[in-house]
A and B are shown apart, each in its own frame.
Chain A
Amino acid sequence: MSFTHLHELIRIADEKQMSIADLMLEVEIEQSLHTEKEILERMNRQFSVMEEAARKGVETPVYSRTGLTGGDAHRVGEYLKKGCSFLAPQTLQAMSFALSVNEVNAGMGRIVATPTAGSAGILPGVFISLLDSGRFSRDELVRALFTAAALGLVIANSASISGAAGGCQAEIGSATAMTAGALVELGGGTPEQVGHAVGLALKNSLGLVCDPVGGLVEIPCIIRNGLHAVTAIAAADMALAGVKSVIPADEVIQAMYMIGNALPESLRETGLGGLAATPTGRALRERVFGKPQGME
């Protein structure tokens, strides 16, 4: 079983007439020596942690330890109740859940890294909104997490999911692609359409630099999670509509990797460049940590 190239994953799924989720489960059983039931139970527990983090910040405002961010998930949740949003309510709800997860994360609360903590809002945000929609059962959604996992493995093994190595495109981009692909499978799309969703979603994340203000996983991380939850849903709909990623997904992943390598260190999670280097970014850093100084 190969988790290094998407085209192989798609080919094997086609040949075996299996979903990508079931392929991933099969490999997990083989590698871990655990039973299918044990593995599904473990994923179910991850889902519960996701759900808790997704709802927490929408119900009541959650603030980060630094006080720089927080309350946005709640704001979007309240706005949603007014019923006059531009986005479809369910999409906006996904956004609010995604924001919540990352607010909980910034508050040192419990989350599931999907695939990383900085990008932990996108997949749970979208999945919990789908749970609330009633269109899919909890079990179906838990199973779809294996599709997302398989796609994440391909990206992690052939490129990177680390912001320090590949910029935010490696974190937010990977999460968006994983989510978009999983949605396509949930929506009844073919493995090939899953591949297109990954390509489309990741293409729209290319070049995203990792420039956290003060080196904190807050600004712009939280907002990016909220907005990319919407991107993931849009990419899934695009692929299900039959739109193709003209550049094959595997090549998009490689492009992401090469762009990551070409990024200067200041834009790879050092908190030195980009938004972190703006006057406001520097001022916020000082507010949290005081004047810059050496450690010793």
Chain B
Amino acid sequence: MRQRRQAERFVSEFLANHREWSDGLDMKYQSAFEMIGPVMVGPSSSHTAGAVRIGNLAREILGETPRIVEFRLMGSFYETYQGHGTDLALLAGVMGYPTDHPAVSEADQRAVEAGLSYAFKKEHLGFFHPNTVGILLHGDQRKIDLIASSLGGGKVEVQELFGLPIRFSGEKNTLILHHADQRGFLAKVSNALDAEGYNIARLSLERWRRGGYAITVCEVDEEIQNDLPEILHSKVPQLKDIRVVQGS
């Protein structure tokens, strides 16, 4: 408790001396359209719109047509998923429908038509927001495993990707870089991004072990152009795969 008070005092003193830095501190929500929006089909922003967005994110990260999906729901997501249409919303999202698409309410039928097989399970995934889902998504080439939470008002946050603690919202334009953990990797990436005119807004790197497989999530301010993955591959040999999530 005492340590926490000291830390808080340090932050407040720091901010008092560096007013310009206080912009954006602890500001999860920044845009007027997060409060007046999203435009969506009912009934619940966190259980429906947020769930659609989580599904959208999973699809974008997979980067191909999904074939098999398993949703692991916890907390309020599990208790009320049928009432809120969370199941339909997650399915709709995985199939790529936007939050205000009328087909959200019949996503289960659409999934059958699209040859997407799905299952819902109850599971305690860890200490996350009460509205949290784990998604195992298989395509023909790849599969992904992510945990994401719906924070309210349609806002979402990825908590884990392939079991690594990687947090991002998908609101900004995001690069998900799969790579080998080697010296100089980030330097090469940031040089390449700089040369192409991108400003890095947020960056996090997680790996399983030293020198092992690693994932870097990099958010940039500018819209990601189609040729960027190819450029990065040519300039950064450690890169194994790049997925792009365009900000919402």
Contact B36 A3 (CB under 8 A): no
How big is the A interface, by class?
A: 35 or more
Q: Is A84 an interface residue (CB 8 A)?
A: no
Of B77-85, B108-116, B205-213, the segment with at least 4 beta carbons within 8 Å of chain A is B77-85
Contact B38 A112 (CB under 8 A): yes
Q: Which of B97-133 contact A (CB under 8 A)?
A: 100, 104-105, 119-122, 129-131
Given contacts A108-B42, A164-B129, contact A31 B31 (CB under 8 A): yes
Q: Mark A1-31, 1 if CB is under 8 A from B, else 0.
A: 1111000000000000000000011011001
In the complex, A43 Cα to B36 Cα: how many Å?
A: 8
Q: Which residues of A contact B35 (CB under 8 A)?
A: 114-115, 148-149, 152-153, 156, 161, 178
Contact A149 B75 (CB under 8 A): no
Contact A117 B49 (CB under 8 A): yes
Residues of B whose CB lies within 8 Å of any CB of A are 22-23, 25-46, 48-49, 75-76, 79-85, 100, 104-105, 119-122, 129-131, 150-154, 221
Contact B39 A49 (CB under 8 A): yes
In the complex, A45 Cα to B30 Cα: how many Å?
A: 20
A264 to chain B, nearest CB (A): 12
Q: Can you list 29 pairs linking A and B with CB atoms under 8 Å apart?
A: A2-B22, A3-B29, A105-B42, A112-B36, A112-B38, A112-B40, A115-B36, A115-B152, A116-B152, A117-B43, A120-B45, A149-B35, A153-B35, A156-B34, A156-B153, A161-B35, A162-B129, A162-B131, A164-B76, A164-B130, A165-B129, A212-B80, A215-B80, A217-B43, A217-B44, A265-B75, A269-B80, A296-B119, A296-B122
Chain B residue nearest to A272 (CB atoms) is B79
Given contacts A49-B39, A214-B83, A295-B122, contact A110 B100 (CB under 8 A): yes
Q: Which of A40-66 contact B (CB under 8 A)?
A: 42-43, 45-46, 49, 65
Q: Mark A89-108, 1 if CB is under 8 A from B, else 0.
A: 00000000000000011111
In the complex, A100 Cα to B85 Cα: how many Å?
A: 20
Contact A271 B39 (CB under 8 A): no
Q: Which residues of B contact A108 (CB under 8 A)?
A: 41-43, 85, 104-105
Contact B22 A163 (CB under 8 A): no
Chain B residue nearest to A21 (CB atoms) is B32
Contact pick for A24, options B27, B32, B37, CB 8 Å:
B32
In the complex, A145 Cα to B34 Cα: how many Å?
A: 12
Q: Which residues of B contact A270 (CB under 8 A)?
A: 75-76, 79-80, 130
B48 to chain A, nearest CB (A): 7
Q: Is A111 an interface residue (CB 8 A)?
A: yes
Given contacts A42-B33, A156-B29, contact A110 B43 (CB under 8 A): no
Q: Which residues of A contact B81 (CB under 8 A)?
A: 215
B58 to chain A, nearest CB (A): 20
In the complex, A178 Cα to B150 Cα: how many Å?
A: 22
Chain A residue nearest to B129 (CB atoms) is A165
In the complex, A272 Cα to B83 Cα: how many Å?
A: 12
In the complex, A289 Cα to B87 Cα: how many Å?
A: 14
Chain B residue nearest to A289 (CB atoms) is B82
Contact A3 B27 (CB under 8 A): yes
Q: Is A113 an interface residue (CB 8 A)?
A: yes
Contact A269 B42 (CB under 8 A): no
Contact A296 B76 (CB under 8 A): no
In the complex, A24 Cα to B32 Cα: how many Å?
A: 7
Contact A113 B79 (CB under 8 A): no
Q: Which residues of A contact B82 (CB under 8 A)?
A: 215, 289
Contact pick for A217, options B27, B42, B153, CB 8 Å:
B42
Contact B36 A162 (CB under 8 A): no
Chain B residue nearest to A111 (CB atoms) is B42
Chain B residue nearest to A33 (CB atoms) is B221
Contact A43 B79 (CB under 8 A): no
Q: Is A74 an interface residue (CB 8 A)?
A: no
Contact B30 A113 (CB under 8 A): no
Contact B36 A145 (CB under 8 A): yes
Q: Which residues of A contact B34 (CB under 8 A)?
A: 115, 149, 152-153, 156
Contact B28 A156 (CB under 8 A): yes
Q: Which residues of B contact A42 (CB under 8 A)?
A: 33
